[in-house]
Amino acid sequence: MNVLSCSINTLIKEGLYEISGVEVGQHFYWQIGGFQVHAQVLITSWVVIAILLGSAALVVRNPQTIPTDGQNFFEFVLEFIRDVSQTQIGEEYGPWVPFIGTLFLFIFVSNWSGALLPWKIIQLPQGELAAPTNDINTTVALALLTSVAYFYAGLSKKGLGYFSKYIQPTPILLPINILEDFTKPLSLSFRLFGNILADELVVVVLVSLVPLVVPIPVMFLGLFTSGIQALIFATLAAAYIGESMEGHH
């Protein structure tokens, strides 16, 4: 009986380890045109986009004057995103709500999908399915989008006079001011990627070392921190856009 119990526990632990394992440096590639892309990131990104579009379609299909529970939830999310945008950008926040909201929702759903959906059950020839934000290319792309929006906001508000900020308060600070604009997307990218990867690695180590009782609360904590990372990214993106429109550091 003890041998049987030990064998069952070993199988459970090995199965959990396989599900929670992280394959580093391995990718499933697709050749599209002359480019080689990470197929697993495209697949999981399409799933996340489908979830977001499906949810939006369900909400707008039959809006009610007196909102139902589902409509209440989505209106609350919209108000939350508007508050974040207004707080960071100011009075001209309106046109930027869709952009900030898209960043927040995509990162939030991506992070939660990596924690809740059993991606690793689906076997690929190489690599594994995981949250889109678990790939450095995704976080860099999101950071570069923020950088483009940052410059667009400043140029649309001030024209070429926007670049005068680089020599304020003195031209001596020109290299530092330019470097600052390059480090903003870099900081956004590595902050998001590093925290998501670190959370997965912590779960892998705990599952391999201790019983399941300990990793489960850590996984729930990971859900909380994943949401916080989405909020931080969206808040900083809105702050950078607001800063470029106001023209101060």
Q: What is the 3-state secondary structure (H, E, C) of 48-85?
A: HHHHHHHHHHHHHHCCCCCCCHHHHHHHHHHHHHHHHH
> Domain boundaries in the chain?
67-114+129-248
Residues 168-224 have pLDDT tens digits of 777 887 888 888 877 877 777 777 777 776 666 666 666 666 666 665 666 676 677
Q: How far apart are CA 13 and CA 65, in angstroms?
A: 51
Residue 148 or 37, more confident: 148
- Rounded-to-integer distance, Cα 15 and Cα 3, Å: 18
Q: In Å, what is the CA distance from 97 to each residue of 57, 220, 248?
A: 19, 29, 21
Residue 210 DSSP symbol: S
Provide the 3-class DSSP secondary structure of residue 27.
Answer: coil
CB 245 within 8 A of CB 237: no
Which range among 3-7, 137-141, 153-157, 201-205 shows the weakest confidence by mean pLDDT? 3-7
Give the number of other CB atoms < 10 A from CB of residue 185: 22
Q: How far is CA 128 from CA 37, 45, 114, 123, 195, in A?
A: 14, 14, 11, 7, 19
Give the CA diameter of the chain: 80
Q: β-strand 29-32 against 35-38: which pairing, if any?
A: antiparallel
Structural element, H or E, at residue 183: helix 174-209
pTM higher than 0.85 for the full model?
no
